[in-house]
Amino acid sequence: MNNDNQEEPHEIVQELIASRNTSAAIKQELLLLRADYPDTLIFAFEGKEDKPVYYSWITRIAPALDYEPFTCLGKDRILQLIDSIERDKNDLATGIYFFVDRDFDELRGRKQKKSIYITDTYSFENHLVNRDVVDNILKMEFHCDGKPNTRAKISALFEKVYESFLNTTKDINFRIYCARKLQIPIEDKLPNRINQLCNLTIDDAQSIDMDAKCIIPLSIEPNGENLDTLRAEFAKLEPSRHYRGKFSYLFLIKWLELLAKDRHAENSVYFFEVKS
């Protein structure tokens, strides 16, 4: 006999998943980790993708440093965890350090502390999208070692197209900036594919046929003095460092794919001086 008030199995599973993602559950996981590693440094990151990047950087600076990584399922959760640990009366904060993306909202009004590292760019991805990285990829992956002139031309092309991409996505970034500064909910997921941001070719990045308001729909439209103030603040940002890093990383990956196609083409435009 069916019970109308009984929850369906999939609903129970969803509730269990949701309960695992609460700040209290994440704090409990941290307590269990501390119990297993009472004397080890714990580095808390926003997400799983942060771990390998910071590991690479940390091991270059301090190769002998021993620490245990801990991921927090996003910026909201790591900030909530910071707040919770600060309120804790059992000295849980000792030996725990947090790695937070600056984004457009930084620490959301919280004070900077020695236990919190905040990126000097929007996120760590911004550090991965630049001419030096492209030059190294050309040396190692595209086998352009010993061809400095070829690399210089392609790196210059990258800089030109990247600048076009940043200009093209300026209004999109500004919409996100307004949302974060005014704490306005964004009513859809942020773009996660390059064709949602621009029409990209190997030598240009052009706007798609869609208004920024449609790409980043906000529950409330900012206007008046608020909008003028935010626009003046946004204009002071350095696009390559302070626009959304995941957008820039999407650009880099797609642009390298296009470059690879030219590298393998019989009549390559950019690699004609390099052996097959």
All residues at 6 or more sequence positions from 144 whose CB lies less than 8 Å from its CB, including other chains: 138, 150, 151, 154, 271, 274
Residue 19 has pLDDT above 50, yes or no: no
- For residue 91, the model assigns a pLDDT of 78
pLDDT greater than 80 at residue 8: no
The predicted structure's pLDDT at residue 21: 53
Q: Minimal CA–CA distance to 263: which of 185, 126, 150, 170?
A: 150
Beta bridge mates, 43: 69, 97
pLDDT digits (tens, 9 = 90+) for 156-182: 999 999 999 999 999 999 999 999 999
pLDDT digits (tens, 9 = 90+) for 212-268: 999 999 999 998 888 999 999 999 999 999 999 999 999 999 999 999 999 999 999
pLDDT in tens, 87-108: 877 778 899 999 999 999 999 9
User: What does the pLDDT look like over 115-167, one tens digit per residue?
Assistant: 999 999 999 999 999 999 999 999 999 999 999 999 999 999 999 999 999 99
pLDDT surpassing 90 at residue 22:
no
Residue 16: per-residue pLDDT: 44
Q: Locate tokens 């941001």: which residue? A: 197
Number of other residues whose CB lies within 10 A of the CB of residue 1: 2
